[in-house]
Structure 1
């Protein structure tokens, strides 16, 4: 009996790029739908924050159970179920007839998104193993490119005054077929071990890892907050049109896409800490520019440059987590990623509460201060390394 021929690494690379991009398209469509859902269901900012909390709760739940499923089956099987489930459930979330139904659908979609995120990033290590070179930045660039395509599609639908719900059903049908095909082109078996070392699982995390994980949580929260709330800020504070509001995610994601496609080259030329310092400084400055812009077009331009800054914060922090003395790289990255997803639980609810009671501009100022913490910490680490 002959063994099935393994797919060509380049074929798998293209397919996995498509899977990352598909995930990004869904997030772009979701960000553009938030103002529409708020208007249709008469949701307050508190309720929007609670709904994002439900989405994050589903994603965090997935990160707890998915590693066991990957170890029992493989990353390709999990990607197929999670990816197809995500696109099947997403239209139901957009068409939710009530706030309760929206929360229930958000938990389910969040679970599928978390499962897909974990499995496709794990499968990326298979691609790197076969290609013998880094590819993660390319895949995350595909995710950002998907954000742009999803936001642009949403803006076109709104510009043509088409039914957003019907359009999402159409996009989901296309994505479902593409997802099934792309996953079938991936490796049927995992060549990179997915099991954790039992001798390190129960060790207490060192302080250095906890600090990096906390900064990762801030980065996850900041990136998500800008993507989720920038459209509402443009509409309510800058009096932006529906088309401009829908373009907010595309503007932010376009900057992130460029920076992520350049990420591998930048890391080859510069050290991690200086890159982290300049990236967080740029992100903070441009987010202030977004909040203070006199009109919507300038605010959208500031979002592009904010995306350039935020793009590589999480990857750079993952590099730091993987290089902490005495901590296995896999455990360091997993711990940081877990803290990042956990920030999706309390962060959106806190931001929604502040937006409701203090104003959206004040709430987004909290994101600026969080990003500045990353900037100051990396600058402090640079100073200590020179002394």
Structure 2
């Protein structure tokens, strides 16, 4: 995964002052968006196209998430059987991450994005037609594999657009993912309330999202194709310089996984919130994520990567401390808002940083960091569950401020290597 001078030169050649001009949004010794990549696609059109892809990806996943109870009821699955099916979701995502980076390096992010989106949306429809538990598990694994391919390739496209703009914009793309998730969740709720089955709902959603992606297809940025032997191995772990951003991603995604699975449970069981109030708490966390991602690019441009990531960790840590030290619903609402705000932009910033460390191979760099981060995402919920059994849930949630403290320390090492 080492830098290749010739490939790096190709990304910056022809740009006035490309070798000497400072990169916007960075401080000396820090990574920011590398200089513009050559493209025949107008940057604004490419930006709109990548926004559309992020939105579609979030909407598709939320479509599934919002209708899990309906699929569970249709197949008559117990909670344990549903947990078995969800193993397909997590394992498919995790196992595909290191492989996708090599595919992006060989065939380009645009080609991998199209292939991944085809699998992703086809599998979304397949989820609604799965006749039994084994089929559902396989469909979830395919759904996760497609999502993984789209995730890495759309972030690579986001980095290419960021280079074309010469300033930080990746956080805005991740905000579109969150907005797509909200749209998918609302549509799923309305479909469920109207008594619409998952088969027509998922099929129609997949068709609509396919049309949106097709419209965005022509504006995505093509990448120079290198020889397969120069692309590196298909399956690779992070190189030495990528472990620090990978560990930052680990802390951020572990915290996000904990909040996704245990945030509402904590409010209900520890603070005595009603189920509706617990749902509001998670909604506030999600809203904080959206606001943080919308504001991230401008703030990072002024502060630089290191100070921005450190600030995110401290804000999130403050939110965790507030919600745990004062076990009331109101304190939980305030703490969850801060947690969402602090965690929101860590992943897009780390992806942008990793791509800057490997400007000739942004896809594999993003995939390697994602692979480390996803271990945390998978590990967080069961760790909390085990600790809650051993002590209690309130004590178990102390993992959150500990994670944010570690992330703050790691952020000080987020410098170009």
Band the TM-score falls in, shorter-chain normalisation: 0.7 to 0.9
Name the structure with the higher helix share. Answer: 1
After superposition, residues 127-142 of structure 1 pair within 5 angstroms as 127-142=161-176
After superposition, residues 162-241 of structure 1 pair within 5 angstroms as 162-163=195-196, 165=198, 166-187=200-221, 189-191=222-224, 205-206=239-240, 209-231=242-264, 238-241=273-276
Query: Is this contact kept in 1: 2:255–2:377, CA < 8 A?
Result: no
Query: Is this contact kept in 1: 2:288–2:337, CA < 8 A?
Result: yes
1:339 Cα offset (Å): 0.9
**Does residue 339 in structure 1 map to residue 375 in structure 2?**
no
**Does residue 27 in structure 1 map to residue 61 in structure 2?**
yes
Uncovered stretches (5+) of structure 1, i.e. residues with no partner: 383-387
Moved more, 278-287 or 88-97: 88-97
Query: Is this contact kept in 2: 1:148–1:250, CA < 8 A?
Result: no
State the distance in 2 between where 1:244 and 1:116 align.
32
Query: Is this contact kept in 2: 1:33–1:94, CA < 8 A?
Result: no
Query: Is this contact kept in 1: 2:251–2:404, CA < 8 A?
Result: yes
1:56-81 Cα deviation digits (max 9, x unpaired)? 32123322333343344332222122
Q: For the structure 1 residues 204 and 28, does the alpha-carbon distance in structure 2 shift closer, same or farther, using more than 3 Å as the test?
A: closer
- Corresponding residue for residue 371 of structure 1: 404
- Corresponding residue for residue 295 of structure 2: 262
Q: For the structure 1 residues 180 and 355, does the alpha-carbon distance in structure 2 shift closer, same or farther, using more than 3 Å as the test?
A: farther
2:138 counterpart SS class: helix
- Corresponding residue for residue 121 of structure 2: 87
Uncovered stretches (5+) of structure 2, i.e. residues with no partner: 1-38
**Does residue 146 in structure 1 map to residue 180 in structure 2?**
yes
After superposition, residues 294-309 of structure 1 pair within 5 angstroms as 294-295=328-329, 299=332, 302-309=335-342
- Corresponding residue for residue 253 of structure 1: 286
Question: Aligned-pair RMSD on alpha carbons?
Answer: 4.1
1:110 Cα offset (Å): 0.7
State the distance in 2 between where 1:253 and 1:376 align.
25
Query: Is this contact kept in 2: 1:15–1:185, CA < 8 A?
Result: yes
Q: For the structure 1 residues 203 and 150, does the alpha-carbon distance in structure 2 shift closer, same or farther, using more than 3 Å as the test?
A: closer
Query: Is this contact kept in 2: 1:323–1:329, CA < 8 A?
Result: no
1:308 Cα offset (Å): 0.7
- Corresponding residue for residue 122 of structure 1: 156
Q: TM-score, normalised by structure 2?
A: 0.71
1:303 Cα offset (Å): 3.2
After superposition, residues 275-294 of structure 1 pair within 5 angstroms as 275-289=308-322, 294=328
Q: TM-score, normalised by structure 1?
A: 0.76
1:97 Cα offset (Å): 5.3
Q: For the structure 1 residues 204 and 216, does the alpha-carbon distance in structure 2 shift closer, same or farther, using more than 3 Å as the test?
A: closer
1:105 Cα offset (Å): 2.1
State the distance in 2 between where 1:32 and 1:235 align.
20
Q: For the structure 1 residues 98 and 288, does the alpha-carbon distance in structure 2 shift closer, same or farther, using more than 3 Å as the test?
A: farther
State the distance in 2 between where 1:211 and 1:204 align.
10
Moved more, 256-265 or 220-229: 220-229
